[in-house]
Structure formats: structure tokens, C-alpha cells
A = this chain, B = another copy of it.
Amino acid sequence: MYIVCADMEGVFTPEIWINMAEKTGIEELRLTTRDISDYDVLMRKRLKILKTNKLTIHDIQSVIQTMAPLDGAVEFIEWLRSRIQVIILSDTFVEFAAPLMQKLGWPTLFCHHLTIDPNGTITNYNLRQTDSKRNAVISMQNLNFKVIAIGDSYNDITMLQKADRGILFSPPDTVKNEYPDFPVSYNYVDLKTIITDIIQNDTNE
């Protein structure tokens, strides 16, 4: 029996930090792991920027509340969940993702969480686990699921490699060229076709 483990940002929703940079006008929030490769250094910098600009979790959630899922994502996830079980695996934080998850109809999300003081200031971030996407795939396989993993970026590659079937969705050319073995789709129509083929050829009863 197959299950889908899919990344969130870039697959169902826009990138949250980039949207925050645009909507707050704070350009430094555009920094990603491509600019600062050490995730802890990057996150501490982001939290410092939020604090310096006196942005609380409430301000950030207000910004995220204005974001919409990608065009077609709501319909795609409805289609997907009627055919196969789905878990979204993301390196975002549950406090950021909630407004977008609501718009997507509350699919199950495995991600990280924040420490927030009574004033709403984000004082720390808490990774649920390192290499959390790959570990979630392994856990599903231990429950005798075969895993279809869908992602767009470098932080999805270990998950895609561990999965029974990995699919790249709208990846940057760098990712696509570096990992040419994964099928690539750039829209939900093609993604549906790839998934349907996998499910229909599932002979493991």
C-alpha cells in the first residue's frame, strides 16, 4: 500500500520566508540555506531580525494569513487524499504553517515548532528531529507502506532517495540536473499522471 510524503513549500504553498521578506519589506529575510549553509546560523539570524524589527508571532501569522496555497493546490490535495494517504513533511514550524494548512483542508503535517514567550516574541526554534523528512519516510516503510515522496529542493533529496518512488515538483534547474534520475513534473496535471501510474501498477497485495 502506497502513501505520499510531500514537501509543503514549493509543492503546495509559496516559500514562507520569501513572502515575509516581501510583505514586511525586510530584505534580509530572503536569506536561505543557499546563502547561509548552516541552518542553525540561518535560523538564529532570522530570529534576531524578527526581534530587532519587533515582529511577534502574531505579526508573522497575520502576514502568512494573507498567503494563499499555490494555484490548484487545494483541488490537487483533495484529489490526492481521495486516492491515497498523504503526510506533508516540512522543515517549517507548526505555528507558521497553520493558516496555510487550514486553507488546504488540514492535511497531516510533520514539521518543527517554535518557543514563544508570553508577549509573542519567538525566543527559540525546536527541530523535532534531524533529517526529519528521511526519518519519516523510514518510519512509514517500517509500517509496511511504500512511499511516494514529492519535493522540490536540496533538503528533499534524502527523502526522495529513501522513498520507494521519488518525484521532483518544479525544482530549480540545479536540483534537476544534479539528480537526473527522478521524474520531474512542473504542474499538478503531470504530477497526477505520474502518481496514477505508480498506484495502478501497485501489484503488492
Contacts and interface: CB of A to CB of B under 8 A. Distances in A.
A113 interface: yes
A135 B140 CA distance: 10
B94 A1 contact: yes
A38 B102 CA distance: 42
What is the copy number of this chain in the assembly? 2
A186 to B, nearest CB: 25
A124 interface: yes
A103 to B, nearest CB: 12
B85 A108 contact: yes
Given A85-B109, A105-B105, A132 B143 contact: yes
Nearest to A80: B106
A98 interface: yes
A205 B126 contact: yes
A129 B106 CA distance: 27
Interface in A86-106: 86-87, 94, 98, 101-102, 105-106
A144 interface: yes
A122 interface: no
A190 interface: no
A54 interface: no
7 contacts: A85-B110, A87-B108, A105-B105, A106-B107, A107-B108, A132-B143, A135-B143
Interface of A: 1, 78, 81-82, 85-87, 94, 98, 101-102, 105-110, 113, 115, 124, 126, 128-129, 132, 135-136, 139-140, 142-145, 205
